[in-house]
Structure 1
Amino acid sequence: MKRKSLFALSAVVVVAAAALVPVLWSGGDNLHNGAAMAATPADQAALIKKGEYLARAGDCIACHTVRGGKEFAGGLPMATPFGTMFTPNITPDDEYGLGKWTSDDFYRALHTGRSKDGSLLYPGFPFTSYTKVSRADSDAMYAYLRSVPPVHVPSRPHELKFPFNNRNLLIGWRTLFFREGEYKPDPTKSVEWNRGAYLIEGLGHCGMCHTSINAMGGPVNSAAFAGGLIPLQNWYAPSLTSNKEAGLGDWDIKDISDLLKTGVSQRGAVFGPMAEVVHNSLQYMTDDDIHAMSTYLKTIPQKDEAPEHLQLETSEQFGSELLKQGQKIYADNCAKCHATNGLGMPPAFPPLANNQSIQMPSAVNPIRMVLNGGYPPSTGGNQKPYGMPPFAQALSNQEVAAVVTYIRMSWGNHGTPVSPQQVSELRSAPLD
């Protein structure tokens, strides 16, 4: 994980959920007769370059590349509540990759959630978002993936629990949660707004993290973009519909754009899964596309209240004790970077005062930052990010709870006390 100094906006838009991609892609006819072939070598080179850009926008490399492994060779394990999925090889290898897939096959997978042989893909692969991708963009991505070096490595079968290993169950899931169709521009909105909506709702698949899922693994559409705990990762994707969390209604477009493009801004920094997204994907996007995404995000309807999330509570008396203890811990360990008044020194050291991510009902992200520390992503616009040291070895569960409680309740912040029990539960949480 790439994170920065203490807290700020952890996971503000997409996560590299970009595909708990489900199925072994295989079989089919040769692409060279497919629609993705351009008329001239120059046209084909331009198509490949466009496809590379779009693959970056979709963060494909994050899920289809094992750390230290060959690009797009797959094999990355993706833990889910239903078992472990392994991402497939999407290099142009004829036996194990996309070598025999046509551009029609590739578009079908993105648009309908079906593999080359017609079998249903598991929804860990974000076809519910990718269905919005245009045919032209699909063809460009396909041309790019055909251009990367083939890797002769088989995909590992998924290890899903019964009955989730029965693919026929996906028929019911799709009926409830999947609506097929390319993005349709809103004629009442600007071209820029529609471009942002296309990227956020389609390739960016931001809703996969920022929308809660139910027991069936389906999105709670009535609470779209209202935030949720990312299953098994123990990071909280803040609500984008509430100014009490990561709602962007009162943000300047520049601050939103800076955050997406570089991982830091005057309003905060990204950590956790969102830092991966910025590092692998968003930093490579054009300023125009970042501005379009920011424009769209700023117009997401805001609600007065953030959604309620389960939070272990402490008594009023114990909360007061934690607050007093946390003040000394903060002075000894945090004030040097974040200042005694909590205003920090942005963008190097984010402000903690009046920081929505500190005050959210869920205290998961600030607890994890105190325990594990980290950095925001290293990007072209922030090549040497400042780091946040870990305090898991230096502070007890109660001391961590105390300093987080102090930060959540000081300088006008309106957070609630944190339970040492919750710190204990998160202390053993995986770092990736």
Structure 2
Amino acid sequence: MDLLLDAEQRRFRDEVRTFLDERLTDELRDGQSRTIGVYPEPDLSLAWQRILLEKGWAAPTWPTKFGGTGWSPLERFIFENECAQAGAPLVYPIGMRLVAPVLMEFGSPEQQQRWLPQILSGEDYWCQGFSEPGAGSDLASLRTRATREGDSYRINGSKMWTTHAHHANRMFALVRTAETERPQQGISFVVIDLHQPGVDIRPIISIGGDHDVNQVFLTDVVIPADNLIGEENHGWTYAKYLLEFERGTGLFSGRLRASLRRAEAALNGPPSAHQQRLIAEVAMELDVFEMFELSVVGTLPNGGAPGPVSSVLKLRASRLKQTVSQLGVALLGADGVRRVPGSTEDVLITDYLNARAATIFGGAAEVQLGIIAKALGEL
């Protein structure tokens, strides 16, 4: 990537490296290296977010008028990659990179003023209420209902696979507000305070043995009508806009490369010729993906949505995540048979198990292929 950088961009990269050397602690690095869920625990991610906030670097994807950095797309790419390579915790993206763009694009000025500063500071911790027990890949079949009652909505239903709901105080959710011929037309986008009567959060333990996701039951939960984002029954449009950010603005290549380094570090002694070949093959795949990601995300203005190509990025990143985790277990060899809690081997095995879901959450691989095919058909 150095071949792409001019003198000013190298100066910026060096500034980022200096900042990481000075402010990124060993405790934060170690915590990220041992992260086995989709996201780090809040004590890690929020601690790092507050350090970035002091520097003015907490929201590199936001427009400057909302507190963003004003960086160019390439500067943001440099920053994200340097953070990943240095082992910095991943800033929890549900509030910062998913609901924030929706608020900026479709929220009222009052809603923006109410929620965006708390997202930036980390005071509000969000979760995503999209999937349901009977509505996963077929999200439009959701049945959680919001009934208008004067100046409020009464919500009944449940949400499934809700990541970090047990830590969150707010949820953005899709709810059904009308029965229509096309189910997508009767869906609305609302914000729910999770610290109120009628909210029951129950843990779901993953195949790796950790608690990352939950089922959330909503029984007669009442929210103010001004917690509706945009127009009633237009939530499907806002959800599609959000999913472009979920799938296409995460800059996965740096984190994937850091995972590859973690897998290599588990080797006892120099790699064999076979292991060297396996590592080289994955490293070359990551090189190709990094250049593709840079060509897409590196051209987006701050706050910009990537469009249907986000499905290509998500699909490829998900499969590479699985490839890297498979390599980690392969490099362990016989050591992968045993699991000692807290050990490097245990982290790699758990990561491998949890990565099976990478081609399901955020939109299953089959859904992404359908979106890609439809986009190609419209060219």
Superposed pair shares fold, TM > 0.5: no
More strand by share: 2
- State the structure with more CA Rg: 1
If the TM-score is normalised by the length of the shorter chain, which range does it land in? under 0.3
Calculate the TM-score normalised by the size of structure 2.
0.24
More helix by share: 2
Calculate the TM-score normalised by the size of structure 1.
0.22
